[in-house]
Structure 1
């Protein structure tokens, strides 16, 4: 993964910040009247609680300056929980690619001094702190001191990024002193060894979200953090390859975790060992997939409802002790996950083996109601390299979810190949309760491609199920690049029922 891609992912997955850099509060509080007069300061007459809410929505410089407006405002900033984004403290910081090291060093020193001043002068508590614009490899002493101040003053939500590069900068051990944390986002660090450190629920008793972005971490250190976080609900491993960052094996044992994401990430193994409350497992790689294989093992996850994208080319699916292989038609009940209601799969329909793996995967999830299938080779038209004949599709053994549960199908990046059409015919012919099928074309601007696709889909649209008013076949097209992209924010938001919907389908 290139440096530019890593930086884009680091900042795209940062938690939303409630303050914009352009927010300000004017010292002129006069209110106009119909006659053009007026001078009464009505804002300062508001109750303290409302004034503190105003202060908390200002960039930190503007918030601190409110103390100079009038005696009424003097103590409000210090009595308002701190909201700090270091981006608001410096108007310009060169990109890490800039050649002027002296300028970068000067800007870094100014920013470090400004952050240190804010953290030292505010008594706390610290509600939300984003420190993500600093090349902290240059000022590592400051990172240690900041974490101690953050711990002492009760930081609740922290995003702490070593603005790339390099990767091997060690995260100070004082991160384990921040027992007040509710959410933690770490970017581009080497996670400290947990050997000999306290292990138990008192370390991170309130932590609910943990996001580790391109952070070097050993498997046993991840297990240690999970054991220290009894209230953790969201765990995300972001931009981790398992080679240069992130644990090569992620084994999830947690009584509280509800959502696990591997975002733009691959590991050698992801195992749901004991996750009784897990509802959502999101596996997101780039659109082309990864040449590396990853073992996805589902042990105990009785509440797992949303799963995807399982990749037929690179994911080795293991349920219990059973490895699911291409062509499996009789799945042992112990190798089924009946709790999954929404399943997303990524498949290259040009490869016959992947199509067979797709069918085998479907047999493992007998209660799926919504199925997303992303075709990853939609640019090539004119048939598959290895098309399956009509005899194959007629002889496909029963698939329980298709025949008795499937209500909605979304086939994204439809290319019009024979295997895609065979798959659609299979589903349309067997799905007894299907209510809606959405076929998404890759490019709304390609009129010839759309006409060709519509011609191939026309026979399906005239099928008996599709003529019913409550069972429409919907054909969409991406109107712009990125229309199909679904976001990290949607994927990690447990209130979003279907995180796999791209812009074209929302």
Structure 2
């Protein structure tokens, strides 16, 4: 009798476990037990916190085993993910923050229409469910206004725990900044934010492990001086010029001391500080898009004014990718940049011709330059003359891409072959490809990809390429 009772108890326990474990995703035919459900609560909680908000909440319906996990997992709350309607988003976000026990992992509130809901937002940010928050994305709805809406000071209560912070379309509470430290913040993005120069410098000085900094359309600062032992990526752009809403123009960026800096990227064409000085950045690898909008560019002791070299004394051999943008006839200027950055790959939109003096070789052309992108290529004599310089002189060139701003046919391609002199190319293995004119953009975050310059619609005409090889 005892053995029968024990057998029944074993069968009962086994059946109970089968009911608790959802079926599917196993190795057997027709699905087996969901082995994921056997993972510890802490691991399952981390998985849930990485899911979109609605998907994370839906895990409560999987089984009794999963039911309590979402409320205890680090909260990932994306308010925009809750609904397409504002009033429903408010209802759902409020309910989640009341029911969840925390801690917080990520809170995202993007493009929120204020409509006198400041107290509601402040209440959300003070919720215990967001305690220990690691990532925050906060912005109001974008609008042109002389009076930027203030960011709730409660958004900065997470300073001790934040690792990622993105703020946009608001004014910064300047009086709070000097008292704050961000000991874990690695990525900071400010876009269309009004902040005083002193407050921004204080903010950056409180970020002791910051690696990526993005400043777009910042209002209220004239100069920014950066010294950081940890920064690896900097992206900047100025605000649109408006004497009424933006009386202070972002004029100067100075990189005083950045021993780990790898990327320096002006983020928006035409919206760049007039002066950029790089005093110490020994690991810089990616630079650009540089343009004539930068009136004064100082790299060590080398000086460029509106893309024209006035003094060439510094050679930055660490730079591997250089992006230039100009409409003027200035191939000579490009060559000067290649002398300053002898190991770079070149991406640009420039025109003109220049004779290469083999008795005065350019190291970049002789041993380093492997890829060139020419955008807005029309195929006329000035364009072809510019491109031909690299066809005939880049000894290790592997790939040359042309973004076309014109239609083409077989006759056009034959003419290009003659103009570019591809039969006399300096690099036997060089490949040439033509495609649509590339729409230039920056990929964000700018530190996450090997090459942050994104050339959209980059479809290459292989038929055209074969005609030029």
TM-score bracket, normalised by the shorter chain, equals 0.7 to 0.9
Distance 1:299 1:44, change over 3 A: closer
1:274 matches 2:257: yes
1:464 matches 2:424: yes
1:361 to 322, 326, 337: 337
1:72 equivalent in structure 2: 65
More strand by share: 2
1:339 to 318, 329, 333: 318
Residue aligned with 1:224, SS:
helix
Greater CA drift, 339-348 or 317-326? 317-326
8 A Cα contact 1:293 1:316, kept in partner? no
Q: Measure how far apart 1:55 and its partner are.
A: 3.8
Tell me, in whole angstroms, the C-alpha distance in 2 between the residues paired with 1:327 and 1:41.
Answer: 65
Tell me, in whole angstroms, the C-alpha distance in 2 between the residues paired with 1:205 and 1:73.
Answer: 34
Aligned length: 424
1:502 matches 2:455: yes
8 A Cα contact 2:274 2:296, kept in partner? yes
8 A Cα contact 2:273 2:294, kept in partner? yes
1:418 matches 2:371: no
Q: How does 1:54-453 map to 2 (within 5 A)?
A: 55-56=48-49, 59-61=52-54, 63-64=56-57, 66-67=59-60, 71-93=64-86, 107=87, 110-136=88-114, 138-149=116-127, 153-165=131-143, 168-178=148-158, 179-194=160-175, 197-198=178-179, 203-238=181-216, 240=217, 245=219, 247-262=221-236, 267-286=250-269, 289=270, 294-320=274-300, 323-325=303-305, 331-333=311-313, 335-348=314-327, 351-352=328-329, 354-365=330-341, 367-375=342-350, 393=355, 399-431=362-394, 433-442=395-404, 446-448=407-409, 451-452=411-412
Give unmatched runs, 5+ long, in structure 1: 1-26, 94-106, 376-383
8 A Cα contact 2:111 2:142, kept in partner? no
Give unmatched runs, 5+ long, in structure 2: 1-19, 241-249, 461-469
8 A Cα contact 2:396 2:427, kept in partner? no
Residue aligned with 2:194, SS:
coil
Residue aligned with 2:416, SS:
helix
Greater CA drift, 404-413 or 392-401? 392-401
Distance 1:501 1:187, change over 3 A: closer
8 A Cα contact 1:443 1:477, kept in partner? no
2:444 equivalent in structure 1: 489
8 A Cα contact 2:339 2:362, kept in partner? yes
Q: CA RMSD in A?
A: 3.8
Larger radius of gyration: 2
8 A Cα contact 2:392 2:426, kept in partner? no
* CA deviations over 1:48-102 (Å, ceiling 9, x no partner): 4465466445553554465466543332112211111112322324xxxxxxxxx
2:245 equivalent in structure 1: none
* CA deviations over 1:166-196 (Å, ceiling 9, x no partner): 6511112233321111101111111121467
